[in-house]
């Protein structure tokens, strides 16, 4: 049987394709076999160099850009981190926007923001709220968004998505669920802060499917160009172990060291706007997503 070739493949440029979400997204899109993917990972490019980025866009002429590249260091705020975030999160976004004039066939851009932009804003986070970020990462993303809104061409179809706390296979061991996965896989002691804080968890497979849905839409038509991506899995950290099987829970109890802290900060978003605009999209249940991640 002769395999049919799609001679009209969409050219997708992905920045930050070597990160946790980026790797999952690249692999997900490659399975479709109908996209030509250019992966600008950290080993290949310097997005802080405007000239370099201009040359890349002229060379590849992407139809779709997915901008993931950033320094994803959470819950830290100091002058040193502010500077690093500017160089690795804000500046690459500014350079990308300033280079778009060299793209002749660009159809849309999907920018990745973060739930950390909201910070001390009222819960649950909605797109209409004024963000009050606490971390250097949240501030850097918000600065990048403001630059996008001020300087991007009005004719360009774009959206700034703010995903919830993403988890899945091969998660970063510095994240909560990632640390549990790491501890179970390597039988390592895990130091975490477990209290009554509420977190909003999003399965990485769902995020990849949602990005693909955005790619397929002719026009994204998002009001004010900002969209929370959340399954509204609002989980109390104290009860997280109830989502695991009893055998795994027993093993986790031996591995986990709870580092008590007086800090209490909830993070969870509203998916109201997403549910209105994308009624057809269905999220994986939190329990099933955990099963897929931990292979329970």
Closest by CA to 110, choosing from 165, 56, 160, is 160
284 CB-side CA count, 13 A: 21
Q: What is the pTM of this model?
A: 0.92
Q: Under CATH, what is the fold of the domain 10-167+203-232+269-283?
A: Rossmann fold (3.40.50)
Q: Which helix (H) or strand (E) holds 192?
A: strand 190-192
Could you report the per-residue pLDDT of 79-131, keeping only the tens digit for each?
Answer: 999 999 999 999 999 999 999 999 999 999 999 999 999 999 999 999 999 99
**Contact indicator for 207, 171 with CB cutoff of 8 Å:** no
The 8 Å CB, 24+ separation contacts for 170-176 are 170/20, 170/23, 171/20, 171/204, 171/293, 172/20, 176/237, 176/240
Could you report the per-residue pLDDT of 24-68, keeping only the tens digit for each?
Answer: 999 999 988 789 999 987 656 789 899 999 999 999 999 999 999
Q: Exposed e or buried b for every residue in 38-54, given b needs 16+ CB within 10 A?
A: bbbbeeebebbebeebb
Q: Which helix (H) or strand (E) holds 256?
A: strand 256-258
DSSP notation for 110-145? EEE--GGGTBTSPSSB-TTSPPB--SHHHHHHHHHH
- What is the DSSP pairing of strand 35-40 with strand 108-112? unpaired
Highest mean pLDDT: which range of 39-53, 129-143, 160-174, 181-195: 129-143
């Amino acid at each position: 049987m002769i395999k049919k070739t799609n001679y009209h493949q969409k050219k997708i440029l992905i920045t930050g394709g070597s990160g946790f979400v980026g790797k999952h997204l690249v692999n997900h899109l490659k399975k479709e076999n109908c996209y030509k993917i250019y992966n600008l990972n950290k080993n290949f490019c310097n997005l802080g160099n405007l000239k370099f980025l201009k040359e890349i866009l002229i060379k590849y002429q992407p139809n779709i850009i997915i901008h993931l590249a950033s320094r994803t260091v959470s819950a830290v705020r100091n002058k040193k981190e502010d500077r690093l975030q500017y160089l690795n999160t804000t500046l690459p976004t500014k350079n990308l926007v300033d280079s778009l004039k060299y793209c002749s066939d660009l159809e849309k851009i999907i920018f990745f923001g973060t739930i950390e932009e909201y910070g001390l804003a009222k819960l649950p986070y909605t797109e209409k709220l004024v963000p009050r970020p606490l971390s250097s990462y949240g501030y850097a993303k918000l600065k990048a968004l403001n630059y996008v809104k001020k300087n991007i061409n009005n004719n360009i179809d774009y959206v700034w998505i703010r995903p919830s706390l993403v988890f899945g296979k091969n998660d970063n061991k510095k994240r909560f669920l990632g640390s549990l996965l790491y501890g179970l896989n390597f039988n390592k002691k895990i130091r975490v802060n477990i209290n009554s804080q509420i977190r909003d968890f999003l399965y990485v497979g769902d995020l990849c499917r949602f990005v693909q849905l955005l790619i397929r839409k002719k026009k994204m038509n998002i009001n004010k160009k900002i969209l929370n991506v959340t399954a509204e899995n609002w989980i109390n950290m104290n009860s997280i172990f109830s989502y695991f099987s009893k055998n795994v829970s027993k093993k986790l109890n031996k591995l986990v060291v709870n580092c008590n802290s007086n800090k209490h900060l909830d993070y969870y978003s509203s998916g109201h706007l997403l549910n209105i605009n994308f009624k057809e999209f269905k999220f994986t249940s939190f329990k099933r997503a955990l099963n897929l991640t931990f292979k329970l």
